[in-house]
Structure 1
Amino acid sequence: MSKELFVALDKAVKSSNNKKIIAAADKVLQALPDDADAVKCKVIAQLRSNQYAEAIQTISNSEHAGALEYEHAYALFRKQDYVDCLRVIEGAEEDSFRMKELKAQALYRLERFDEAIELYHELLNEKPCMERRTNLVACYAGATFADPEKETPSEVMQAEDDAFEHTYNRSLVATAQHRIPTAATLVKQAQQQCVDMLKEDDPDITQEEIDQELALLKVQEGVILQQQGEEERAKRIYLDVIRFNQDSTTIVAVASNNIVAVNKDRDVFNSKHRMRATRAEGLDKKLWSTQKMIIAFNQCLLLLHSNAIAKCRDACADLRKQYPSSTVPSLIEAYTYLKERKVKNKAERLQALCDEHPNDEILALVLAHEYARHGDYPHALSALQRVSTLAFKPAYVGYAVALCRRLHRPDVATEQLDSAIAHWKKQQAEGSEETLQSLLRLRGELLLQQRKYSAAVNAFQDLIDADPEDMRAVASLIVALAQVDIEKAEQVASSMPPLEMNEDEPLNVDELEQARKLRVAKTSRRAPLDKLAEALASNTAAAPAPAAAKPKRRRKRKGKLPKNAEEGVEPDPNRWLPKWQRKGGKGKKKNKKKGGAVKHGTQGAATEAEMAKLDASLLPDAPPPKTASASRAVGKGKPRKKKGGRRR
């Protein structure tokens, strides 16, 4: 009996019919529940039939689960349960090549890119393969999107391959590194490779089928165009992709999100409709965390553009918990307060928001901007000083020094600069030397303005020690030394390179002094002495008035002449006026009715007095009418021409 069951199972396996294999294996397992071959045949048939949950249950109920570790991990991977898949792989006794490859794919899906890259390099050293090289580049692309400063080896980026997937992944890496021209070239190359491959496999393939296969590459092309500023072209590509690829939820979701980004605050209703595609079922497991974060931010911005301020703030609070390292939610929430024009005490609301999140740099900057916008510079400076992580950044230091100048607090500005310089002197990172030089220069200029010449000499001397060819620092050092040690100033000035002068045109000192006087007079713009005396006499705090400007002469332009105008003959001045305004022309038509005003009342109605006027029997005897020869000629003039043609 059992022999017949195994014969039937063998026949089903040879037929490659998965349903028959599962049915035959079930019959064997009913007779022999512990048969390892029957269990393995059933599990493999279930995997080929995409019955992953059933395969996992079959393995779990079997006593031979230890021999099916790879099948168990593969079923979990296809079920998109990557955490359990990796747990099974790491706990398995099998350490085969196929198990390592499955582990590398699971690590990629879990966005543990560095581990996946290391494992793929190991696999490629053992068995080089085009597909594994493509997966390696995909890992580098994911790592670069997560960290744009991640370096990709040149041998990986420059490796040519005929597979369009490999070229597409290289385009992703270039996009993440903001090398947009390179990314555009690579995505065009990938599209051509894809078309060539499709036509080689099927010469009769239709253009519609080709467009469906190119959907992913087209979306990438749209992303590149969008980053190049050609948003309308990118939007047309996204719309075409959505129209022909309704079945691909991932592609439709990404294209719809990008359309929302193009729309910004325009066409909000259309953006709401597009955002529905980003909430498709099962999409959460198909997108990277970076993509999901961007979609969440766009949904929050859409609430802002829809004027749903309360919902937008609630969404910002949730996003801040979900993505604590991002400053975008705080920036959006701060903008909700700035957007409400009628709300009073915006600064107080922003201050309360900063109190809730004391370490948020973006909120502190927005609060400082709001104070500075209304001229409240002391509060703006205190808002900047709230966040210690901002204290040594060059942009912050420059802004703080500018505020201190406005507040006439030079000591605070000097103290801020000294602490920042001490911090950057300890740094060994790339670019710290340039930052230090900028801060030292700013400190020296500030000391010069405060007339602390000895300290300014030391500051500029530090700059020259770091870069002896810094002529700007040498010139500033000479200015400072001229106030302290004139001999040393002359000594340093002698080391300056000579001026390049034209021998034919010697330097005119008088012209230079006169030019300087003109420049000073132009920039000072002092009030006239008589006006200043009047202001002092009246004891009023009059602001110095600018010098009276010479009125500009208006250019008299020649009037336009008709094409047939005669030279030397003035055209008729009335030709530009309407006919009814011309001299001797017909005026406006007057009301021909007697009495001028239009009569009101029922048609045909008249008073008795008016009827009496019209009764001929009541009129006095009138003189006989004149003969026709003496009467005024009627109709003897030029006959009126009847209007013809179409009415306009």
Structure 2
Amino acid sequence: MRQEYLMPWVGLDFGTPYPVWKPILKRKLGDVLQQRADELKAFHCKIVCLIQLSRFQDALKAIVKEPKLSLELVFEKAYCQYRLNQPQEALKTLDSGLTLSSKLKELKAQILYRLERYEECFDVYRDIIKNSNDDYEEERETNLSAVIANICHDDPNRDVPQLREHTYELSYNSACQLVGRGQYGEAERKLKATEKLCRDSIDEEDEGDIEDELGIIKVQLAYCLHMQGREKEAQLIYTAALKQKPDDIGLVAIASNNIIAINRDQNVFDSKKKMKSATLEGLEHKLTSRQRKNIAVNHCLLALYTNQSDQCQQLCARLVQQYPDMGAEATLIRAVQLAKDGKSRDAAVVLDKFASQNPEHQMKMRLAAVQLLLSEGDRKESCRILQNLSEATFKPGIVSALVTLYLADGNLDAASKVLKDAVDWYRKNKVSTGDLSTMWRQAADFHLRSGEPAVAAKSLEELLRINPGDKKTLAQLVLAYAQIDPAKAQVLSKQLPPLDLSQTIDVEALELSNWMMKSKVAKKAAAKIEPSPGSKPGDITKMPSQQTKPSPNPNSPVPDVSGPRQQQRKIQQKKKKKSGKW
């Protein structure tokens, strides 16, 4: 994120060339301070000279050494601390003053920006812009737009003021706002317009300046393409930007990191080389904590992809130490590395332990542990973990997984209990987690097949509550209650629509196809059923004509489809003989 920093100074001529400060410090100020060591103006000038020579540490030492002469030098002290990358101390120095002048507010805004306290920074800049009228208005507006862009990234739905876009810096920051909101297509178009505005704004003779500024714009444009899935286009721009060998180590780090993200587990040697550029010393003052955090995660992933087990574990430990909020990501990477080393059970233990210590990550960690255990064929331990997810155990997906695992082990009682507990929990807590009709239907069918009509009735009642007009569910509920409470079944049956007896119905076939019967009995009964002439099959998919013919291959057994037809034909012939008709 770009930001134009201001360096307001008072009582000095900004036009004084840099080489002049050194002789002023040595000769003129040296003579004055030797004669009068307590001269306030001379001491003040000495501090300013040291700052202009970028000797911030010397200036700060002089200020601390002479507290009486430094009482009025709050700005200079805070500025030295800021330039020495001590923003917290600089903010304390500013807050120690009674009132803040305009130049102190300017410095405070920059310090707050460095500390990533964007909301406070936003308020300070608005106050400065409201109460100032000088030649720095455009620079302040640029700074404010940079703050707004970061706010949009932290809170994409935040309402922010609209600023002008008449300079390429303001246009760039406006594009960054769109990036923060995830509007990458619009940001792409804005950045292309920014690039043209930049070329028109900078003198063609300053070719180096143009390339430096365009490098930032192009890398941000590549990021927009990257996030839209256009990785090849993005990689070309990243690579071209790095070939320019920019002086900005922050720009180099971001482009290198993004190429690593595109490479993933491919071209790892190139990724290892670029990771060195993304982790150089001094980047902590060039990148935001969010950017440094992402690079640190990618460093761990790169060690994972290159099978550097020890380094991966060390980098994960360092990641948690530097960024405690990244504990979940680091734990997952560690677990994957252990699994790749053939230690899936150890990985599951690591995940389960983290889940116990961090309940907010319980679901993600334990599901990952289950996946690793199932890869080892350990269904028993997987079921134990899934049943210890507290209320999450009753989520439809978890219930389905538990039933599937228990059925795979042949444990019908455990599968039945899982469904029964889920039904009871939802009935008791009245929790709505979307459409649960599928779960109720599966639970009812399962308990009906396993001979538990009372439990099935509970699921069917919930289905009716969701869809009161479902006559199919009502009919199933009547049949369920017929086995446990005939009186209630009789009452419910009155809500069913009357049967249409206008068509010929094979009553015997309907009775024998009762879905409540045991599977073995139903199969035996189905073998005795003779289909009524002209009746259509029930829930059977129509077969292609060539598959209804007996196979000529004696080694390929097929159903005896000709048998029932011949038997039926013989019966009809017997009836014709008795009646005397042929």
TM-score calculated relative to the size of structure 1:
0.65
Aligned partners of 1:225, 1:66: CA distance in 2, in Å?
53
Aligned partners of 2:139, 2:427: CA distance in 1, in Å?
52
Q: Percent identity at matched positions?
A: 27
Tell me the CA shift for residue 486 of structure 1.
7.8
Match of 2:484 in 1: none
- Is 2:25 the partner of 1:22? yes
Contact kept, 8 Å, 2:423 with 2:459, in 1: the verdict is no
Tell me the CA shift for residue 191 of structure 1.
1.9
1:141-196 deviation digits (Å, cap 9, x = unpaired): 43454x4x55221x43x544223233323333333333221222222232222222
Contact kept, 8 Å, 1:350 with 1:363, in 2: the verdict is no
- Is 2:118 the partner of 1:96? no
Letter of the 2:459 partner, please give it.
Answer: A
Tell me the CA shift for residue 255 of structure 1.
1.0
- The 1:186–1:369 alpha-carbon spacing in structure 2 relative to 1, beyond 3 Å, is same
Letter of the 2:146 partner, please give it.
Answer: A
Tell me the CA shift for residue 487 of structure 1.
7.4
Match of 2:457 in 1: 454
- The 1:268–1:274 alpha-carbon spacing in structure 2 relative to 1, beyond 3 Å, is same
Match of 2:439 among 439, 442, 448: 442
Aligned partners of 2:30, 2:559: CA distance in 1, in Å?
105
Match of 2:421 in 1: 415
- The 1:142–1:12 alpha-carbon spacing in structure 2 relative to 1, beyond 3 Å, is closer
- Is 2:188 the partner of 1:188? no
SS at match of 2:540: helix
Match of 2:384 in 1: 382
Match of 2:62 in 1: 58
Contact kept, 8 Å, 1:107 with 1:115, in 2: the verdict is yes
SS at match of 1:66: coil
Letter of the 2:379 partner, please give it.
Answer: Y
- The 1:330–1:372 alpha-carbon spacing in structure 2 relative to 1, beyond 3 Å, is same
Match of 1:40 among 44, 48, 58: 44
Tell me the CA shift for residue 93 of structure 1.
2.3
Letter of the 2:71 partner, please give it.
Answer: G
- Greater Rg, structure 1 or structure 2? 1
SS at match of 1:67: coil
Match of 1:605 in 2: none
Match of 1:284 in 2: 284
How do 1:464-503 residues align onto structure 2 when only pairs under 5 Å count? Answer: 464=467, 474=470, 477-478=473-474, 480-481=476-477, 483=479, 491=495
Match of 1:519 among 541, 554, 568: 541
Match of 2:349 among 337, 347, 352: 352
Tell me the CA shift for residue 274 of structure 1.
1.2
Letter of the 1:37 partner, please give it.
Answer: K
1:52-110 deviation digits (Å, cap 9, x = unpaired): 22222232233232211012112221222111111111112232233233222212211
- The 1:205–1:12 alpha-carbon spacing in structure 2 relative to 1, beyond 3 Å, is closer
- Is 2:347 the partner of 1:366? no
Runs of 4+ in 1 over 6 A off after TM superposition: 10-14, 420-424, 510-513
Match of 2:243 in 1: 243
Contact kept, 8 Å, 2:85 with 2:285, in 1: the verdict is yes
Letter of the 1:415 partner, please give it.
Answer: D
SS at match of 1:518: coil
Contact kept, 8 Å, 1:457 with 1:477, in 2: the verdict is yes
Contact kept, 8 Å, 1:460 with 1:476, in 2: the verdict is no
Match of 1:334 in 2: 335
- The 1:75–1:421 alpha-carbon spacing in structure 2 relative to 1, beyond 3 Å, is farther
- Is 2:143 the partner of 1:135? yes
Aligned partners of 1:237, 1:45: CA distance in 2, in Å?
43
Tell me the CA shift for residue 481 of structure 1.
4.5
Contact kept, 8 Å, 2:351 with 2:366, in 1: the verdict is yes
Tell me the CA shift for residue 135 of structure 1.
3.1
Contact kept, 8 Å, 2:184 with 2:224, in 1: the verdict is yes
In structure 2, the gaps of 5 or more residues are 1-10, 449-454, 482-488, 499-531, 551-555, 562-582
How do 1:212-291 residues align onto structure 2 when only pairs under 5 Å count? Answer: 212-291=212-291
Contact kept, 8 Å, 2:461 with 2:477, in 1: the verdict is no
Which of structures 1 and 2 has the larger relative contact order (alpha carbons within 8 angstroms, sep 6+)? 2
Contact kept, 8 Å, 2:402 with 2:418, in 1: the verdict is no
Report the count of equivalent residues. 478
- The 1:12–1:132 alpha-carbon spacing in structure 2 relative to 1, beyond 3 Å, is closer
SS at match of 1:241: helix
Aligned partners of 1:41, 1:253: CA distance in 2, in Å?
39
Contact kept, 8 Å, 2:348 with 2:372, in 1: the verdict is no
- The 1:11–1:168 alpha-carbon spacing in structure 2 relative to 1, beyond 3 Å, is closer
Contact kept, 8 Å, 1:354 with 1:363, in 2: the verdict is yes
Letter of the 1:459 partner, please give it.
Answer: E
Aligned partners of 2:393, 2:138: CA distance in 1, in Å?
50
SS at match of 1:514: coil
SS at match of 1:34: coil
Aligned partners of 1:273, 1:112: CA distance in 2, in Å?
34
Match of 2:87 in 1: 82
RMSD over aligned CA atoms reads: 3.8
Aligned partners of 1:481, 1:395: CA distance in 2, in Å?
25
Contact kept, 8 Å, 1:447 with 1:456, in 2: the verdict is yes
Q: Greater CA deviation, 112-121 or 271-280?
A: 112-121
Contact kept, 8 Å, 1:167 with 1:186, in 2: the verdict is yes
Structure whose residues are more often helix by fraction: 2
Q: Greater CA deviation, 358-367 or 284-293?
A: 358-367
- The 1:249–1:517 alpha-carbon spacing in structure 2 relative to 1, beyond 3 Å, is closer
Letter of the 1:377 partner, please give it.
Answer: R
Contact kept, 8 Å, 1:391 with 1:420, in 2: the verdict is no
Aligned partners of 1:511, 1:107: CA distance in 2, in Å?
87
Contact kept, 8 Å, 1:397 with 1:417, in 2: the verdict is no
Match of 1:506 in 2: none
- The 1:212–1:353 alpha-carbon spacing in structure 2 relative to 1, beyond 3 Å, is same
1:17-66 deviation digits (Å, cap 9, x = unpaired): 32344232232222111222112222223323322222222322332322
Letter of the 2:115 partner, please give it.
Answer: L
Tell me the CA shift for residue 242 of structure 1.
1.3
Contact kept, 8 Å, 1:249 with 1:283, in 2: the verdict is yes
In structure 1, the gaps of 5 or more residues are 1-9, 426-432, 495-509, 529-544, 551-648
